[in-house]
Copies of this chain bind each other. A is one copy, B any other.
Amino acid sequence: MPAIEKVISATERERVVRLIDDHRKDWSLQQAFYLDPDIFELERQLWFPRQWVIVAHASELPEKGSYIIRNLFDEEIILARHGDGPDDIAAFYNVCTHRGSRLCTKDGRGRLMVCPYHAWAFRLTGELQTRRDLPEGVNPDELGLHKVPSKVIGGLVLCGLEPAHLPDIEPAAAGLTDLLLENGVGNARIIARKSYLTKANWKLVLENFLECYHCRPAHPEYFRVNGHVKVTAMRDEYKAKEWQEEIEAWHSVIGDAEFDKGVWEPGDLDTTPFAMHRKPIGSGRLTLSDDGQPVSCLMGGRTNYDGGENGFRIGRLSFLSAPNDYLTMFQMVPRSANETDVILTWLVDRDADANVDPEKISWMWDVTTVQDKKITEDNAEGVASRAYRPGPYTPLESQAAFFVETYLSQMRELITGDRASSKQEWGAPSQLFASPKATCNTRRL
């Protein structure tokens, strides 16, 4: 349930700006950014409303008339499929315009959505259908549901909180739709979903997700399966060379000149960052499974396994991992200054065998995310100590460092209204193999 908007005083805002200005580049954030409820409130008022995030997969609305309840940050929203086209999905705040009750209390299907309190009825396109009980002088056309900006991209349903604050989503749609469809995202069905409530600030969760320096000590299974960790978590020149050769060999076989597609993350607020990054899993493994063997049928019209994983970033809080035969969708949902939901959804091809084993499919990312929850919570506990001081990001954590820099610049701009100060040129990360764990690299290597 959203908290009531708290007024953050000018004094408090100035304090935050000073904290931003005191930041030491390539060192972790000062304590307040990981703990302070007032800073979370500023993020809630200023930063989150500028982010497009995945809220559902289109298959969750199977037919015209379907409506479902989902979360968008701290809000409950209704997604409704009002037509037969693949994009005919509308989104509304789940709030009746009569006295403010939840309109839908469970997913359903129908021509109208009827409020359980006083039976006011709304169409799937949001208009109020009820007429006769209205008091004189009240115009029913002004009592339609409150719309939520939404966009379907290659089977992913994205929403954002407030139309006035959201950047244009069209470049991301143009850049990603075909790539998502090639990976079978538009033709998938969900076989598992799991939420990992992590007692840590969302930025600690994201920093963890954006670096793989910890993969060797903290993720034995991930380390064993993924060849790239030899590079991103180790300083072994021989291993790095070996991996480079593996990449080149793989590259020559799949015949794809581009490993990274999409834009660079420009670091500013006017753009929704998006990207796709390709890399081999390594060691002859066909997919991200315990034994490297397939766990479902090939997706997206592929005819053979290429041993690669495609990683997508869509906005700043949503990711997708796509080996050849299944998908893992990641939603990072800030809940409070010290709680973040990490929601994983696994999908396979719509026509995959009914007997595919969700355990095998979810294995890699489940075991890894359970571990990440633990280490991120340990991180959050330490960061709360009076002994915590910012520490240096190593070259292997350059993506996390980059995120922190852009975040601070964006917050400064949002708090002060001063654009100029943030119009710096964002340099590329300083390390060749600085690849985030989920392979959703936002820059060319």
Contacts and interface: CB of A to CB of B under 8 A. Distances in A.
A357 to B, nearest CB: 31
Interface in A1-45: 1-5, 26, 28, 31-32, 35-36
A93 B392 contact: no
A11 B352 CA distance: 62
Interface in A63-101: 75-76, 93-101
Given A117-B217, A118-B217, A138-B392, A28 B385 contact: no
A322 interface: no
A385 B135 contact: no
Contact of A375 (B36, B116, B161): B116
A162 to B, nearest CB: 8
A214 interface: yes
A422 interface: no
Contacts of A32: 4
Contact of A387 (B4, B31, B95): B95
A389 interface: yes
A101 B378 contact: yes
A317 interface: no
Nearest to A148: B387
Interface stretch (A293-301, A327-335, A393-401, A432-440): A393-401
B218 A117 contact: yes
Nearest to A337: B4
A161 B387 CA distance: 10
A414 interface: no
A43 to B, nearest CB: 14
A284 interface: no
Q: How many protomers of this protein does the assembly include?
A: 3
B101 A382 contact: yes
A44 to B, nearest CB: 10
B116 A384 contact: no
A100 B217 contact: no
A101 B386 CA distance: 13
B384 A117 contact: no
A135 to B, nearest CB: 5
Contacts of A102: 378-379, 381-382
Contact of A391 (B99, B207, B214, B387): B99
A382 B102 CA distance: 5
A263 interface: no
Contact of A28 (B5, B75, B100, B207): B100
Interface in A343-389: 375, 378-379, 381-389
Contacts of A385: 2, 75-76, 93-95, 100
A216 interface: yes
Contact of A133 (B99, B100, B138, B394): B394
7 smallest beta-carbon distances between A and B, as pairs: A93-B387, A146-B387, A119-B217, A102-B378, A100-B383, A4-B35, A95-B382
Given A2-B384, A133-B396, A135-B392, 20 more contacts: A1-B384, A2-B385, A4-B35, A5-B386, A76-B381, A95-B388, A98-B394, A99-B379, A99-B393, A101-B375, A102-B381, A116-B378, A117-B214, A117-B217, A117-B218, A132-B235, A133-B235, A134-B394, A135-B394, A146-B387
Interface of A: 1-5, 26, 28, 31-32, 35-36, 75-76, 93-103, 105, 114-119, 132-135, 138, 143, 146, 161, 207, 213-214, 216-218, 235, 375, 378-379, 381-389, 391-396
7 contacts: A1-B384, A75-B386, A98-B392, A99-B393, A119-B216, A135-B392, A135-B395
